[in-house]
Chains A and B, each alone.
Chain A
Amino acid sequence: MGDLLNFRDGETIAETPVSIEEFLGASNATAVRIEPGEDARLLLPHLDRIALVEVTFPAFTDGRGYSSARILRESGYTGELRASGDVLVDQLFRMRRSGFDSFAPDKPLDPAVVETTLSRFTEVYQKSVDGRRPIWAKRHEVN
């Protein structure tokens, strides 16, 4: 397992996340894990007591976690959103755009490559949940 990459203002959450099933049971956990086939919207009623959502990527080619992340952010979740598993440097840019702010990759990432990759695209075409103004907003001076 590689080091945890943190893009948050504060520290990452140390608590070990529990499964969504356990979380929705009688758990007091504040950290929860979502697997690719699980519905992130099940967490929406509980966002105010969640400090960490870990979204797993068993294979980097399975893109369901991007939807899970964006749904949580669109619904106002502000806690830590961590991508774990088969997280590779070339997926980081889109993961950041989808709202992830920490990463627990299976294999360590080269910090220099991470830096270059994340700074490469200075503009974006879409409005997402990362606060970046899309190109169309800049063209027409709208927010």
Chain B
Amino acid sequence: MYQYDSYDQAMVDARVEEFRDQARRRLAGEMTEDQFKPLRLMNGLYLQLHAYMLRIAVPYGTLSPRQLRKLAHIARTYDKGYGHFTTRTNIQFNWIKLEDAADILAELATVEMHAIQTSGNCIRNISSDQYAGVAADEITDPRPWAELLRQWSSFHPEFTYLPRKFKICVIASPNDRAAMRTHDIGLELVERDGRVGARVYAGGGLGRTPMVSPLIRDFVEEEELVSYLEACLRVYNRYGRRDNKFKARIKILVHELGVEEYRRQVEEEFLHMRTLGIQPPTEELDRIRAFFAPPVYETGLSEEVDRSDPDFALWLDRNVVAHKQPGYAIANISLKPVGGIPGDATADQIDLVADLGERYSLDQVRVTHAQNLVLPFVRKADLYALWQELDAAGLGTANIDMASDIIACPGLDYCSLANARSIPVAQKIAQRFASKEAEIGELKIKISGCINACGHHHAGHIGILGVDRKGTENYQLSLGGSGAEDCSVGTITGPGFTEDGVVDAIERATNLYLTQREEGERFLDTYRRIGMAPFKEAIYG
């Protein structure tokens, strides 16, 4: 994986000192909270209901065991012994003291980590495919590109006070595992005439106005990508709406201008940008690429896996996916134990994953946007031993992409923006469906505790949105969303439900699916084939 050189290290070290000084001035009363807020946000520090929350960037979801151990240490020393992995593949700690924040950032800097731009109206952490580098369907590893963009977007002189936050995702497979088209800019690396370049989508997003991003440009050459993105961002910075925070994302600009007009303005700006020499030379991407070179794989490894333990066999079927290298597999670690908090991991679990990453996965661990972890380089022969260790630590849940593998935001239990709780709903759904999920098959349920949609509910096969209705929590149900390559926004079924009512409603919907499905159909496929009406009928009867 990428390693900082002295330049990168100097940047994060300077950032720690900058923040230390800003926090000191704030604590000394030299700065108002209004002035401090955007600065702390750009260091990932939010003020939540009970304490500060610190969101730490995990660039393109890749972590080393050394970094994981540091995160576990932070969880133990500065938090309550656990951390929460997010839908942006970051990790956040919910019980942080402002006085400690600079020390935590300093600790992170020692393992080449930071919280730069994990919040605020700036370019956020660049996300990518959790199977990057090991997926059989990728045309190249997207992470070098993501790292190039991480550097380009860090402390950008022009794009740090944008109308609103800005999220970029880079993938390199036709199968989208990173919800690329729900991002402000989505880049899909594609090959054309033997050259790799980027297909650029812009104006996707969830929130209160969900949109699947339209294609803006079919191909941008590697040598021009930064110039092109500067053009995209400049048009947005200049013309994105600033009168209403809820209409300030780029999706609204693209929608209001129309794709054609946005594209035209970007092209015009691009003609100018490409003359400025702002694009790093191709040698820079080559330099970064060398860090992501494939490992030295062992050859002649056994393809055999003993499936005689039924619990292990279930985990194999649900959590292990094909690797591009013979003899190896990709193992998902679910952070969704039934009845647990989606995405949470204790310090001990994080330490264990670090150990397992070292012993079984060539020192690499990934974070997924579905709030799970991945060991990307496991020898098939090691899978059983790995599973036994995971299982013993409560990390062996076999439910990837199943009903209990729920994406949920922190909700009203933590978040000051939330209208309703998300975690208890996720727990109840998981408990209700755990015994039936084998029959139901792939079903992506996503829960947000407010309209900001951090739980990606619009992109759920089944989505749940918590709202506050006359002082009581009420849950709206939607069906038919997807964050994958068949990206779509779900449709609301009708009137909302109580916490228990929404669980019942989902059960009525899945029961209908079980009676209506045709061979090989997932819940989403059946919904798309038969439409909302029968589901509505089943749910509201």
Task: Name A residues whose Cβ lies closer than 8 Å to a Cβ of B.
Answer: 36, 60-64, 66-67, 70, 74, 88, 90-91, 94, 97-98, 110, 113, 116-117, 120-128, 130, 134-136, 138-140, 142-143
Contacts and interface: CB of A to CB of B under 8 A. Distances in A.
B10 interface: yes
Contacts of A128: 157-158, 278
Interface string B140-165: 00000000000110111111111000
A63 B162 contact: yes
A67 B11 contact: no
Contacts of B276: 74, 127
Contacts of B38: 60-61
B277 interface: yes
B10 A139 contact: no
A74 B284 contact: no
Contact of A125 (B152, B242, B272, B277): B152
A140 B158 contact: no
Interface centre among B18, B151, B155, B157 (most CB of A within 10 A): B157
Nearest to B160: A94
A58 to B, nearest CB: 11
A64 B17 CA distance: 27
Give the interface residue-count category, chain B: 35 or more
A66 B161 contact: yes
Given A90-B39, A120-B17, A140 B283 contact: yes
B238 A64 contact: yes
A34 to B, nearest CB: 12
A125 B152 CA distance: 6
B21 interface: yes
B284 A126 contact: no
A124 to B, nearest CB: 7
B157 A116 contact: no
A110 B161 CA distance: 23
Contacts of B238: 64, 67
Contacts of B284: 136, 139-140
B237 interface: yes
Contact of A135 (B21, B22, B121, B151): B151
A88 B238 CA distance: 21
Contact of A140 (B30, B161, B281): B281
A136 B280 contact: yes
A94 B157 contact: yes
B343 to A, nearest CB: 30
Contacts of A127: 276-278
Nearest to A136: B280
A126 B152 contact: yes
Contacts of B287: 139-140
Nearest to B277: A127
Interface in B271-291: 272, 276-278, 280-281, 283-284, 287
A137 to B, nearest CB: 8
A140 to B, nearest CB: 5
Contacts of B14: 120-122
B123 to A, nearest CB: 11
B11 to A, nearest CB: 6
A107 to B, nearest CB: 10
B265 to A, nearest CB: 12
Contacts of A64: 237-238, 242
B10 A123 contact: yes
A143 B279 CA distance: 11
Contact of A66 (B11, B151, B237): B237
Given A127-B277, A140-B283, A142-B281, A66 B157 contact: yes
A126 B156 contact: yes
Contacts of B277: 127, 143
Nearest to B6: A123
Contact of A98 (B30, B157, B242): B157
